[in-house]
Structure 1
Amino acid sequence: MLAPPRTVVRREGGLYALERALQRRGFRLVAGADEAGRGACAGPLVAAAAILPEGRRGEIEELADSKLLTPAARERVYDEVVARALTWSVVVIPATEVDARGLHVCNLAAMRRALASLAARPEYVLTDGFPVDGLDAPGLAVWKGDRVAACVAAASVLAKVTRDRLMVDLDTRFPGYGFAVHKGYITDEHSTALARLGPCAEHRFSYVNVAAASGRGNRPPRARRPRDAAPRPAPDAVEPMMLWPVAEGTVGVASGDQPRPPVPVGEDEAMEGEKR
């Protein structure tokens, strides 16, 4: 019995090499998924998925890992991805859901939901960093995938720009924290404001620094949201999240209405001290 031919990833293909190799093997619809906001202690977690066209139609000149782009470049690339992608989707997980279910659980669920929301069924899936189970397609978790695969980089830009826009909106609703500047990540300025004002309803109370600022002490990552904190954003609070869908894409807000038991999350602790 002959072994199947090896998949050759050509280095000169750059960001598109992995997708092109998969397409040569017959996987024409290669989807990428990524998230934004994993290391933040305030604001939502946002995941996105995208399928780019084959060949030159899917090539975007400035496309790169969203963290390597300037805000202006991200906006330009976002517009290009929305215009050129065969299909794309964005899923927003509120901070309350991150507290209730845990960061890692929400991260995987958001990417899974974003992939399931695509208008076309992926034939192969590339995810950034973490394997995602429950997909109706073969997939591969790629370390630093947003720097290796174009579809993952496109998803990273969709997620990052969407989340940044949401954080700018939250800055007007919760002034004083500087959300429009640091986007909810743990910076010196954010920590100072958190100590002075205390947490708002959009902070993640399962993070040690937020739990401490709320007066609940230096609790472990599973510390719960205080009773006087808003348990869930009001429906009108998430309305701005729904303003950006276009013909080929979708933007959704996770409801989180199904109760789930607490799940231990090992990744939270490492992310809480992260500074951006």
Structure 2
Amino acid sequence: MSSKTYPTSELESQIFGSGIKQLLSIDEVGRGAIAGPVAVGVTVTSAETFKTPWPAKLCDSKLMSEKQREESFQPVADWVDQWAIGMASAVEIDQIGITKALALAAERAIEKLSFEPSGARILLDGSHNWLGNRSYGVPVAVRPNADRDCASVAAASVLAKVTRDRLMVELAKEFPGFGFEGHKGYASEAHIEAVRRLRPSIQHRVTWLDRILGIDS
């Protein structure tokens, strides 16, 4: 953890300097899992938000320990103006594919928020605009590694990761034996062995199991 890269507000400052009033910053978690939903976090910030320092330990959720993410969750939630999480289930991922499922999850998060589209901008982590036509008419700026480099996107990353992880812990009680509380739906050796032994649950992305792991549903 000693080589962490901490985010700045450089890009956000440029965006607000161009006249944008509200920034919707978006990151996804769970894309590479073989079980559980994909989750998309959206934070809303303004120039006023950045007059208050963001939590000192905030960075890309992938670079934080589970304990650090949990400790940062409430301070991050309190720092942003608004936030929301949207999810798309394993069944939906199987039905429409991961890219459309991500866009659907993002739409579900965005629709919970209050903003004026004409004065807003979306800052999306990634290499392409995977929102498609689900941006509510808000222009989209795409930035690779935004979850690492931009404080508002790092905040979305932490909020989405903790929310999804907590859900996977609850799903472990409903679907015992798979170890969701530990690997959070990712393809650990123990998880794959459990799927082979118990057969996939409704929380598993069965098209992925078949294609990637050769496990029939």
TM-score interval, smaller chain: 0.7 to 0.9
1:17 aligns with 2:10: yes
Aligned to 2:160: 159
Contact 2:34 2:209 in 1 (8 A): no
1:84 aligns with 2:83: no
Query: Where do 5+ consecutive residues of structure 2 fail to align?
Result: 1-5
Q: Scaled by the length of structure 1, what TM-score is found?
A: 0.69
Contact 2:123 2:141 in 1 (8 A): yes
Contact 1:30 1:126 in 2 (8 A): yes
Aligned to 1:114: 109
Residue-by-residue CA offset, 1:117-176 (whole Å, 9 max, x unaligned): 212236111011131233222221111110121111111111111110010011111111
Amino-acid identity (%):
35
User: For residues 26 and 170 of structure 1, what CA distance do their matches in structure 2 show?
Assistant: 44
1:133 aligns with 2:93: no
User: For residues 116 and 164 of structure 2, what CA distance do their matches in structure 1 show?
Assistant: 25
Give the 3-state SS of the residue equivalent to 1:172 in structure 2. Answer: helix
Aligned to 2:89: 94
Aligned to 2:188: 187
Aligned to 1:230: none
User: For residues 143 and 65 of structure 2, what CA distance do their matches in structure 1 show?
Assistant: 24
Which fold has the larger relative contact order, with Cα–Cα distance below 8 Å and residues 6 or more apart in sequence?
Answer: 2
Aligned to 1:44: 37
Contact 1:52 1:58 in 2 (8 A): no
User: For residues 64 and 92 of structure 2, what CA distance do their matches in structure 1 show?
Assistant: 29
Relative to 1, partners in 2 of residues 1:187 and 1:115: Cα closer, same or farther, differing over 3 Å? Answer: same
Aligned to 1:63: 58
Which residue identity does 1:30 align to in structure 2? L
Aligned to 1:203: 204
Aligned to 1:175: 176
User: For residues 46 and 150 of structure 2, what CA distance do their matches in structure 1 show?
Assistant: 13
Which residue identity does 1:26 align to in structure 2? G
Contact 1:32 1:152 in 2 (8 A): yes
Give the 3-state SS of the residue equivalent to 2:8 in structure 1. Answer: helix
Residue-by-residue CA offset, 1:46-89 (whole Å, 9 max, x unaligned): 11100134333252211111101111111122111221211111
Give the 3-state SS of the residue equivalent to 2:78 in structure 1. Answer: helix
User: For residues 170 and 142 of structure 2, what CA distance do their matches in structure 1 show?
Assistant: 32
1:104 aligns with 2:99: yes
Give the 3-state SS of the residue equivalent to 1:124 in structure 2. Answer: strand
Contact 2:55 2:72 in 1 (8 A): yes
Aligned to 2:3: none
**Highest CA radius of gyration, 1 or 2?**
1
Relative to 1, partners in 2 of residues 1:103 and 1:34: Cα closer, same or farther, differing over 3 Å? Answer: same
Relative to 1, partners in 2 of residues 1:78 and 1:52: Cα closer, same or farther, differing over 3 Å? Answer: farther
Segments ≥4 residues shifted beyond 4 Å: none
1:28 CA drift (Å): 2.8
Q: Scaled by the length of structure 2, what TM-score is found?
A: 0.86
